[in-house]
Structure 1
Amino acid sequence: MPTNNNPLASNPLRTRADLQEALKSLLEPLAAFTSPRGAQIRLGETATHYDQQAADLEGYARPLWGLAALLAGGGGGGEFAGAAAERWVEGLKAGTDPSCEEYWGEVRDCDQRMVEMCPMGFWMALAGPGESGFWKTFTEEEKNRTVAWFNGVNTREMPNTNWLWFRVFANLALKKLGAPHGAERTRADLDHLETFYDADGWSNDGPPDTLQMDYYSGPFAIQTAQLIYSKLAAEDDPERCELYRERARQYLFSYAHYFDPEGRAIPFGRSTTYRFAMAAFWSALVFAFDDPAAFPAPFSWGVIKGFLLRNLRWWGQQLAIFTSAGTLTIGYAYPNMYFTENYNSPGSPYWCMKAFFPLAVAETHPFWAEEERAYPASMLNTVASLAAPRHIVSHMGGHTFLLSSGQACHYALKAAQAKYGKFAYSSAFGFSVPTGSYGLAQHAIDSMVGLSADGGETWKTRRLAPNARIETHDSACALISEWYPWPDVEIENILIPPSETHPNWHLRAHRIKTGRTLQTAEGAFALYGQASGDGRHLPEYNGHEGYEEGASFAVAASRAGAVGIAELSGGYATRTGGVLRVDPNSNLVESRTVLPTLYADLETGDDVWFVTAVFALPADAAGAWREAWRHAWDTKPVVPDWLRRRIANK
């Protein structure tokens, strides 16, 4: 029974014409939700921390990332060469007119209106100037009102984050239109953004005393903004633009690891409801570069094309991401409000329009001229140690996932411990967020250790991991950090990626010193938890699917693959295994999940080591995983010698 209308589902998403049609299919349903003068688009009634006017402006502005590219490339066609595009032009006039009932309101300090100036600035810079641009259709009064409204950003305070790019784009648009703008303010913002830079192309989403290198550091904001700027400001700011292009060349060697061969990106951090904006970096490369040999091997234009289009095709398979009206929902693989941020309005997901920048370039561009290439073979069955974001990414055993420690959001973000504090994040199994604060099923502790000091009523999980670092031991990398959930509890976490001999297992070692009585629980990855036949709860393992649990292990297999967790032997503390049925809608990828979990109780004064082996084998299209998973699960890894020595010397 269809409950949605994914307009991408029947689109092959392989050619320029396919992407043009895909974009139009995303834009067309918005007309029914647009205000009479065109300045507001309201797609739902859920609220944000900012006002409704700003939320309606967000609905208007974010589709412009795609529309601007479509028009710039001459691929509008039909409605989008005329009436539909004109609707946004008229909306700009109305939204900046204080006498109009659709006026967006004056810009204040740290105002959401600043954010939406970024897509509007991109559109104005591309579609506004020149004889064919819309700016010449404005009267002098309309121009003055528009310029005044945008210049409001130059006298207001902004958060010390990627937001500074939004002011840059507002001023860049005004400059392209020949209007008064904040030139000095722009230079100061760009110079300050330099202080966010770390290494290998990576920037923090804030000053150096933060460690937040998530999708905002790349496709959502900073890397993509740098690439667009490098194209639009190339004549006026050539040295900085070349610096940005060089950083992109460095960054792509890291960023490629966040995608798997099926096109899925690893969900991590905040704002994952932007969905295929995760692929915007690949998209922005096309906008910024046109040299047939722009990038070093293995990143040909055909390979970059594959990264972008495979991601779009994967989203085309997620039928539940659209409403029956054809508009995007707030959520990830299905509608979900548990994991969203307080700034996610119903229009927020249209930041995903950044994936359509290739439509701005001609069909003769090498991106379109080259054949799509497969996922680089040199990345398969590898482990990548990424020093800047404190991530170790594994592609071993047909599973792309990352190990993480040390990152944290700089403010009190909802479910921040789940978005940044988990040990592992998977392209196949996603991650889960809490649905409430009572009991383990609500806390949803996949890839986490949970601690309870009140008999299991509430649970603490890792949010901050100070002193996180990547170390090398016996030629293998490990991610090590500390955690202090209470003043009298100290935990050391050691994360070890899979090896060639055990490609579907990663290890986690935890030393816990406690000054209080604790209950502990540790989860593997969350797994789709229903039977394939009748869709009811997974049964006990029947030779085909189901779950098993025992003295030191728990494992489950379903249509999504197989996931398990085991305590490794060696004279350390022992735990009991169980398969927990997690609260529905806690996981980003699957709405009903189970969680193989290990449990143990600790007494005051305990100083113990847990050594955990986590098994994961995602389902594959050929179905071969069903024959392979049981043998791989039964072949447990061992504790590495260097870790044994470390435990012995505690």
Structure 2
Amino acid sequence: MIDNPLRSRTDLQQAVRTLFSPLKAHFSPGRARVKLGHTAAVYPARTAELEGFARPLWGLVPLAAGGGEFDDWELYRTGLTHGSDPQHPEYWGPTGNRDQAYVEMAALGFALALIPERVWEPLKPHARANLAAWLGQINRAKLVDNNWQFFRVLVNLGLARVGAESDAASLSAALAQIDAFYLGDGWYSDGPTMRRDYYVPFAMHYYGLLYAGLAGGDPQRADRLRERAAAFAPQFAHWFAADGAALPFGRSLTYRFAQGAFWGALAFANVEVLPWGVIKGLALRHLRWWFRRPIAHNDGCLAIGYAYPNLNLAEGYNGPASPYWALKFFLPLALSDEHPFWLAEEAPLPELPSVHHQPHAGMILCRDRAGAHVFALSGTQHMPKLRHGAEKYAKFAYSTAFGFCVSSGANGLSQTACDSMLALTDDGDHYRLREEPLETTFEGDMLRSLWKPWPEVEIETWLLPCLPWHVRVHRLRTKKSLLSSEGGFAAARPEGVDEGALRHQGEGFALASYPIGWSGIRDLRAKRKGEIINIAPNTNLLYPRTVIPALLGWHLPGEHWLATAVLALPGEGAWLEVWNDPPSLPDLGRGLRHHPPRTVLYRPLLKKLPSYVQKFVSVANRVLKH
């Protein structure tokens, strides 16, 4: 994205200035708002423009705290004066319960706590009073019962630092509520939910480490927060590949390199749970991975999306300036150049086990020997009310090298995000996926889940790592006739290649072998039909054009056992030998061993089926032809 080696403290200081520079043209006349686009979010436009003003502070504040140069503090002082003034046209407004403005207040509280000489002391007395009053609204409102509790903590820390009226009781109650979310072993829940995603490192731990570094008067709690982060760090390291890529999983992925903000927060709070060189390597490799991607608009402003601008994956709370939460990554710039984080030489990760169970996350983390490909088998999480919640939380597997797809909103197999999913339809057009597991358990090396896409259809799924493969077994019990498509990892489909030479499909297998990486799927027992499916553009997080190798089957009412082996490797590598040596069927007891295959290929069966099924099968065969 920018020409910067991103290896030194000086490089990162320049990166913050470069990221901020294109925003200057979008400040409002009164400097209190920054408008970066016209797309809407669930909150008002004035709050989206406050977001554009506040979120860059996550990088600018550490820059200034560490002595880095920044020439535009007057923009912020003017904006703080006007935005908090009820008589000014750019007033940020009164706030209510669960108001998005509280998210942005956290950045302002952070600024007051760390650099009051830049953003508070130069203000006139009436401007200070207005700003303190506007921020104080957070102590009289109900907040979302999750990481938002930390916003009250940060605001009160900032107000206390500058001698303004703060609320120690509210701060203490918020910290107590956060303690209630702690699960043990370094893991939090983000409120009363089963989700264990990036909000654990880049929210719960990040703010906790901020508190530990700023709240000198609360040493016991600070030590407890450090200990929790230290317990989490070795587990979180499994989410990163050797090139710095983090595992794409869950919501809020448009915050991008905030995924790696936890590593710098460890340094800010002086938590050397891993050698400083390892922590620094995890952080900077991650940042470099992101800066090699086209994640900005042509004017240089960060875009909603993941590895490229893409509104398909956005949540309703993503406004045009939301991606600037990524600047939380730059917290270690607040440290002096003599801090061991900056003095250390970057080091690679120590050798990690190829298979690592994380029960709190409901995942089995898998990595190849070189760490080039990290993938997670997943089975416990869900968020059905979120846009694309099933795709973001409930797929069977997530990969650093292949990403995942979200549905395009239209009907049909090519519009359905069936990568790493078993998609089922009873009409040949509308597909259902695993959205909400009803039961999840670890059974030895396997992860089991029970789910019901329809009330009369029950599926048990077992996921088993067999590196570099993984195996899936499904017991399908259905009272209706169904078509199924089970997808492997989505493979990038570059332009200008010979498609015929790169696609291999037949009875019981499908393989796509593109230069960027190859992905294949095998049927281990029932010989479903293999097919390479072209997926709608801009539905994968990493690549605008992808294909999915899939197995297509037809299931009459009754019980069916499906067994699938999935393999994917990045790069062009020597894959043929591995592909020709698939894993064997796992031992799941009498059911799998003694249940004869009954799933059949899509093919003309009209003479063998009752008349009321014939129309259904005809639709299925037409779907396959197209």
TM-score by length of 2: 0.93
| Correspondence for 1:622 | none
Contact 1:283 1:354 in 2 (8 A): no
| Correspondence for 2:104 | 116
The correspondence for 2:196, drawn from 204, 209, 213, is: 213
| Correspondence for 1:68 | 61
Segment drifting more, 47-56 vs 114-123: 114-123
| Correspondence for 1:461 | 433
User: CA-to-partner distance for each residue in 1:535-572, whole Å, 9 max, x for gaps?
Assistant: 2465223xxxx010011000001121110000113xxx
Question: For residue 509 of structure 1, what is the amino acid of its counterpart?
Answer: V
CA offset at residue 407 of structure 1?
A: 0.9
CA offset at residue 154 of structure 1?
A: 1.2
Question: For residue 225 of structure 1, what is the amino acid of its counterpart?
Answer: Y
Question: For residue 213 of structure 2, what is the amino acid of its counterpart?
Answer: K
CA offset at residue 180 of structure 1?
A: 1.1
Question: Following the alignment from structure 1 to structure 2, what is the Cα–Cα distance between the partners of residues 418 and 269?
Answer: 8
| Correspondence for 2:174 | 189
| Correspondence for 1:611 | 563
CA offset at residue 646 of structure 1?
A: 5.2
| Correspondence for 1:638 | 584
| Correspondence for 1:258 | 239
Question: Following the alignment from structure 1 to structure 2, what is the Cα–Cα distance between the partners of residues 201 and 609?
Answer: 38
Question: Following the alignment from structure 1 to structure 2, what is the Cα–Cα distance between the partners of residues 35 and 124?
Answer: 22
The correspondence for 1:31, drawn from 10, 19, 24, is: 24
Secondary structure at the aligned position of 2:443 is classed as strand
| Correspondence for 2:553 | 600
The correspondence for 2:11, drawn from 14, 18, 27, is: 18
Contact 1:383 1:396 in 2 (8 A): no
Question: Are 1:226 and 2:208 matched, yes or no?
Answer: yes
Question: Are 1:514 and 2:478 matched, yes or no?
Answer: yes
Question: For residue 158 of structure 2, what is the amino acid of its counterpart?
Answer: A
User: CA-to-partner distance for each residue in 1:404-425, whole Å, 9 max, x for gaps?
Assistant: 111123x611000000010100
Higher relative contact order (CA 8 A, sep 6+): 1
Identical counterparts, % of pairs: 42
Question: Following the alignment from structure 1 to structure 2, what is the Cα–Cα distance between the partners of residues 395 and 538?
Answer: 30
Question: For residue 62 of structure 1, what is the amino acid of its counterpart?
Answer: R
CA offset at residue 118 of structure 1?
A: 1.2
Question: Following the alignment from structure 2 to structure 1, what is the Cα–Cα distance between the partners of residues 439 and 450?
Answer: 7
| Correspondence for 1:539 | 499
Question: Following the alignment from structure 2 to structure 1, what is the Cα–Cα distance between the partners of residues 590 and 12?
Answer: 55
The correspondence for 2:219, drawn from 212, 220, 238, is: 238
Contact 2:374 2:400 in 1 (8 A): yes
The correspondence for 1:315, drawn from 290, 308, 313, is: 290
Question: For residue 489 of structure 2, what is the amino acid of its counterpart?
Answer: F
Question: Are 1:565 and 2:510 matched, yes or no?
Answer: no
| Correspondence for 2:608 | none
Question: Following the alignment from structure 1 to structure 2, what is the Cα–Cα distance between the partners of residues 497 and 577?
Answer: 22
RMSD: 1.4
* Runs of 5+ consecutive residues of structure 1 not aligned to the other structure: 1-5, 620-624
Question: Are 1:301 and 2:301 matched, yes or no?
Answer: no
CA offset at residue 589 of structure 1?
A: 0.2
Question: For residue 9 of structure 2, what is the amino acid of its counterpart?
Answer: R
The correspondence for 2:39, drawn from 31, 46, 51, is: 46
Secondary structure at the aligned position of 1:371 is classed as coil
Question: Following the alignment from structure 1 to structure 2, what is the Cα–Cα distance between the partners of residues 405 and 69?
Answer: 38
| Correspondence for 2:615 | none
Question: Following the alignment from structure 2 to structure 1, what is the Cα–Cα distance between the partners of residues 432 and 205?
Answer: 34
| Map 1:261-300 → 2, pairs under 5 A | 261-289=242-270, 294-295=272-273, 299-300=274-275
Question: For residue 540 of structure 1, what is the amino acid of its counterpart?
Answer: G
CA offset at residue 36 of structure 1?
A: 1.8
The correspondence for 2:542, drawn from 589, 593, 616, is: 589
| Correspondence for 1:3 | none
Question: For residue 254 of structure 1, what is the amino acid of its counterpart?
Answer: Q
Secondary structure at the aligned position of 2:121 is classed as helix
Question: Following the alignment from structure 2 to structure 1, what is the Cα–Cα distance between the partners of residues 137 and 455?
Answer: 47
Contact 2:282 2:349 in 1 (8 A): yes
**Cα gap change, 1:366/1:251 in structure 2, threshold over 3 Å: closer, same or farther?**
same
| Correspondence for 2:183 | 198
**Cα gap change, 1:537/1:463 in structure 2, threshold over 3 Å: closer, same or farther?**
farther
| Correspondence for 2:528 | 575
Question: Are 1:396 and 2:368 matched, yes or no?
Answer: yes
Contact 1:529 1:538 in 2 (8 A): no
Question: For residue 406 of structure 2, what is the amino acid of its counterpart?
Answer: V
Question: Following the alignment from structure 2 to structure 1, what is the Cα–Cα distance between the partners of residues 223 and 506?
Answer: 58
Contact 2:77 2:123 in 1 (8 A): no
Q: Which runs of 4+ in 1 moved over 6 A?
A: none
CA offset at residue 198 of structure 1?
A: 1.2
Secondary structure at the aligned position of 2:310 is classed as coil
Question: For residue 481 of structure 1, what is the amino acid of its counterpart?
Answer: S
Question: Following the alignment from structure 1 to structure 2, what is the Cα–Cα distance between the partners of residues 47 and 465?
Answer: 32
Contact 1:122 1:173 in 2 (8 A): yes
CA offset at residue 636 of structure 1?
A: 1.1
Question: Following the alignment from structure 1 to structure 2, what is the Cα–Cα distance between the partners of residues 497 and 636?
Answer: 12
Question: Following the alignment from structure 2 to structure 1, what is the Cα–Cα distance between the partners of residues 173 and 166?
Answer: 13
Question: For residue 448 of structure 1, what is the amino acid of its counterpart?
Answer: M
Aligned pairs, how many? 593
Secondary structure at the aligned position of 2:439 is classed as coil
Question: Are 1:384 and 2:356 matched, yes or no?
Answer: yes
The correspondence for 2:507, drawn from 547, 551, 575, is: 551
Secondary structure at the aligned position of 2:24 is classed as helix
**Cα gap change, 1:357/1:646 in structure 2, threshold over 3 Å: closer, same or farther?**
farther
Secondary structure at the aligned position of 1:218 is classed as helix
Secondary structure at the aligned position of 1:137 is classed as coil
* Runs of 5+ consecutive residues of structure 2 not aligned to the other structure: 596-626
**Cα gap change, 1:539/1:136 in structure 2, threshold over 3 Å: closer, same or farther?**
closer
User: CA-to-partner distance for each residue in 1:581-639, whole Å, 9 max, x for gaps?
Assistant: 000000000000000000111112x20111110011111xxxxx43x111111111111
TM-score by length of 1: 0.89
**Cα gap change, 1:65/1:463 in structure 2, threshold over 3 Å: closer, same or farther?**
same
CA offset at residue 428 of structure 1?
A: 0.4
| Map 1:337-416 → 2, pairs under 5 A | 337-376=311-350, 378-379=351-352, 382-396=354-368, 398-409=372-383, 412-416=385-389
User: CA-to-partner distance for each residue in 1:331-376, whole Å, 9 max, x for gaps?
Assistant: 1111111110011111000000011111100011001111111232
Question: Following the alignment from structure 2 to structure 1, what is the Cα–Cα distance between the partners of residues 434 and 233?
Answer: 29
User: CA-to-partner distance for each residue in 1:182-232, whole Å, 9 max, x for gaps?
Assistant: 21111111111112111211111112xx2111001112x111011101111
Question: For residue 75 of structure 1, what is the amino acid of its counterpart?
Answer: G
Contact 1:408 1:463 in 2 (8 A): yes
